[in-house]
Chains A and B, each alone.
Chain A
């Protein structure tokens, strides 16, 4: 609980040891406030999916407690699962032998809603996702992207406050992945839903997540707001963006700087944050009449930070 507002998701000292002795999750604790997009990142086998499934009540923890919307998943399962919709990794999530419409009706009723409550919401979801005209077709005949849209719609048909998305864009083409990303933004920022997202696409996590935790060997090794995480890894050196015209730079730059070019511009990366070096290089560029587009501190991508984190500890 923070500032009197109960966390949407509370995980306290959760451990999962499978029968084979594998400790998939080891003492994980975290709290996700309402309306936050929380990214859970980690390499394969790190414990992401087990953590998400424990949140959903689909895997029983060996130790620890989980609460959804204040309801204990183990002791108040009925109320707890009402809080969530889930799109799980590596599975169809919906019945391919049913139509899109039949799936939404089934999953709505599964949570105890009446038909009259489900119909308008199912219609809105299918219209928004561009599936309304194909609502009476079997999902098995849809493209992978459309099937994933149906899975997202099925997770949302009861309007749950919490959404668990385990690799929601895996296997999707660019267009379908973009649709899912736009939906995540809309659900979190316009509808105030709490979203837990696992993905290997770190650019997507950087774009969507308010906060990121990195899990490795079942343990959370970093848990920070995305901006803070990126700031923390800002490197103490400069980058200068210039127009891409290498011919003008011949003999202009000191040998210790790195030059990367592409897309109509180039970036000169200085090895230090030393102001004298920066001024020296800028003076050389001025002398060479090289147009400078910008100067910035080097800010690594989440991708780079993730790799560093996973290797470091």
Chain B
């Protein structure tokens, strides 16, 4: 019998891991492409809901300032929506069909696979958000919405993305333990959309609700900093010095750590209990 040693992993761990991470991501994107039609319908209905909200909040008209304040939060919500959906339903589908177990027959540790899955979900979310953003920007031009696009906003937006990544991984991990998580996810998505500023700016919330939203709801803190840079004309140093950005950084770090820990624990627990297969 020949024995296969794991040469590519031992000799070039980084290169091999990057290659296999890319393999996982590309597989994830190919599988997601199959579900493009339902995704388009979901995005279309969410977008219609957004415009309806803005219309009623504006008292029967579109208020440019309101659109400018909620627009980025809405895009962030869309990325979060897709990432959560893919991490939870994707992982459950793979569990029920047995491909999750097959994909664990890899020399790589399970975390690489989970990062690849997450990367695919984020790419899908970002591409979808980019398409929607183009549509919005064209619409905004027609109703005179003024946006000052500033590079410095990329810093809090990166933290928003990190928040989403951590939370999506957390949800994916919970889905591995609580298989009937579908209904819970819909509730969570609804709460995020209402409280992260996607439909209603958080500064109109009561103080206690705004604070709760910033602490509990993913993306809210980073989006608050982003909104102030894009529509309030504040600088990075201003959002840093009043503590918004440092708290957003801490929030993202905690969520990433939480998501990572829960997902890896769920995989270990699944292996212990033999619950990762069909």
Residues on A lying within 8 angstroms of B by beta carbon are 8, 16, 18-19, 24, 34-35, 50, 53, 56-60, 69-70, 77-79, 81-86, 88, 90-98, 102, 106-107, 109-114, 138, 154, 158-162, 192-194
Contact = CB atoms under 8 A, between A and B. Distances in A.
Contacts of B143: none
B103 A110 contact: yes
Contacts of B272: 19, 59-60
A85 B10 CA distance: 20
Interface in B102-132: 102-108
Nearest to B278: A91
B274 interface: yes
A52 B50 CA distance: 51
Shortest beta-carbon contacts, A-B, top 4: A91-B98, A34-B1, A91-B278, A78-B107
Nearest to B4: A82
A107 B4 contact: no
B105 A56 contact: yes
B271 interface: yes
A110 B106 contact: yes
A95 B37 CA distance: 19
Nearest to B268: A60
B95 to A, nearest CB: 10
Contacts of B102: 86, 88, 91, 93-94, 107, 154
B249 interface: no
Given A79-B6, A79-B107, 8 more contacts: A8-B1, A18-B274, A59-B274, A82-B5, A91-B99, A110-B103, A111-B106, A112-B16
Contacts, number: 134
A102 B9 CA distance: 22
A160 to B, nearest CB: 6
Interface in B62-109: 97-99, 101-108
B219 to A, nearest CB: 30
Interface in B129-158: none
A90 B1 CA distance: 29
A151 to B, nearest CB: 9
B4 A161 contact: yes
B183 interface: no
Contacts of B103: 110
Contacts of A69: 1, 3-4
Nearest to B3: A69
Contacts of B97: 91-92, 96
A58 B101 contact: yes
A112 B99 contact: no
A71 to B, nearest CB: 8
For A90, A91, A97, A112, the residue with the greatest tally of chain B CB atoms inside 10 Å of its CB is: A112
B186 interface: no
23 contacts: A19-B272, A57-B104, A57-B105, A58-B105, A58-B271, A59-B274, A69-B3, A69-B4, A79-B5, A83-B3, A88-B102, A97-B34, A98-B27, A107-B102, A110-B20, A112-B19, A112-B20, A114-B19, A138-B34, A161-B2, A162-B1, A192-B1, A192-B2
Interface string B1-36: 111111111100000100110010001001100100
A112 B30 contact: no
A92 B5 CA distance: 27
Contacts of B242: none
A56 B107 CA distance: 12
B277 A88 contact: yes
Nearest to B31: A97
A112 B133 CA distance: 38
Contacts of B104: 57-58
A78 B107 CA distance: 4
A58 B3 CA distance: 20
A110 B104 CA distance: 9
Contacts of A162: 1
B221 interface: no
A18 B4 contact: no
Nearest to A99: B30
B276 interface: yes
A160 B6 CA distance: 11
A79 B8 CA distance: 11
A254 to B, nearest CB: 55
Contacts of A96: 97
A293 B231 CA distance: 98
Contacts of A81: 105-107
A90 B98 CA distance: 8
Contacts of A193: 1
A160 B2 CA distance: 9
For B3, B16, B101, the residue with the greatest tally of chain A CB atoms inside 10 Å of its CB is: B3
Contacts of A88: 98, 101-102, 277-278
For A16, A94, A106, A113, the residue with the greatest tally of chain B CB atoms inside 10 Å of its CB is: A106
Contacts of A83: 3-4
B156 to A, nearest CB: 36
Given A60-B271, A112-B107, A92 B99 contact: yes
A58 B5 CA distance: 19
Nearest to A77: B107
Nearest to B34: A97
A164 B6 CA distance: 19
A172 B108 CA distance: 33
Contacts of B9: 78, 112
